[in-house]
Amino acid sequence: MYWGEDLDERLYEGIEETQIEGVEPIRAGLPITHWSYSSLMCFLRNPLAWYKRYVEKVYDTPSSPAGIIGRAAHVALQHFYGLPVRDRTQTGGIAKGGAIDLGLEYLRNVPDFEVNFGKAKTKREKKEKRASMEREYLQAIGFYLEKPPKYNVVAIEEKSTIKVDGLKLPIRAISDLVVRSAVDKKALDIVDHKFVDSFSSLGGQKTLFIIQAIFNYYTVQNTHGKPVRRFILQECRKRRNADGKSQMRRYIIEYAKCKEEFAIFHRLIRDATAEIARERLYLPNPSDMFEGENSFDIYKLGLAG
């Protein structure tokens, strides 16, 4: 799910690392133990912010309201698409209302110090911002669950770290849903939910989507030992369309058609690993819309890198 912030690492901060068979806990000369989609994108976008979070493991940057709303929607869909139960009348594990309530509970339980309130400074302003966040969450998840896609679910929120031939570091990914493929009974598909302000103009050809899809491909294939056919992106526009058209769009990445993209992925991971293996300065990126100011403050104070 995309709300302008990386979700996979933020949802699992503080969770104890699981040792992978055959993978050393610390790689000689390397400051990290694995790559994830979030960490790779952060490294490319803002090296100093990456160093702070993934090397120093400091997670003190408040989340944007959009990021928190996205995680709340993530929680709701996680419960809605729960593995089947005997007496059910909808796609997932619990009814829509219950899933929505659990997401709302998550949102309300986020403490103020973890929220970037922006210009809202007073207690009243923060309370109003909280109320606005709840309304935005309820509208967004309501759009998605109005006519939710149906799947034959195999796994939910599946987190895996695996070794890939030719790569020095393991890779990690979290898959929203692993489902039985609708186009191949012997294969699996991966589903990723994305909540957006506007639909992606490039659809399934967007580079960010393809890189994420390949991370998930390797982890799901390794975990289940089955062919993985497609990466399905379900975009939900969180603001109501004025023309009354659907709030949902689906893009499909077919792995069999991504031979060149797999080769580029391997080259990018190898080059990024070589970069962090050498002695270097980790510089801030003030133009980074997510962590630019914070990274430059760290640089001014000489606290990292």
Please give the structure tokens belonging to residue 114: 């973890």
Q: What residues contact residue 91 under an 8 Å CB cut-off, 6+ apart?
A: 80, 81, 148, 149, 150, 151
**Residue range 186-213: mean pLDDT, rounded:** 88
Give CA angle at 180 (178, 183), nearest 5°: 125
Q: Report residue 205's pLDDT band, with 50, 70 and 90 as the boundaries.
A: confident
Quick: pLDDT tens for 212-221: 999 999 999 9
**Per-residue pLDDT, 28:** 60
Q: Report residue 22's pLDDT band, with 50, 70 and 90 as the boundaries.
A: very low
Quick: pLDDT tens for 120-131: 999 999 999 999
Q: Report residue 25's pLDDT band, with 50, 70 and 90 as the boundaries.
A: very low
Q: Mean pLDDT, the chain, as a whole number?
A: 85
**Per-residue pLDDT, 70:** 87
Handedness of CA 272, 54, 11, 130 (dihedral sign): negative
**Per-residue pLDDT, 83:** 59
Give CA angle at 170 (165, 174), nearest 5°: 115
Residue pair 196/140 in contact (Cβ under 8 Å)? The answer is no
- The pair phi, psi for residue 86, each rounded to 5°, is -65, -50
**Per-residue pLDDT, 304:** 65
> Is residue 8's pLDDT more than 80?
no
Quick: pLDDT tens for 234-282: 988 877 877 777 788 899 999 999 999 999 999 999 999 999 999 888 8
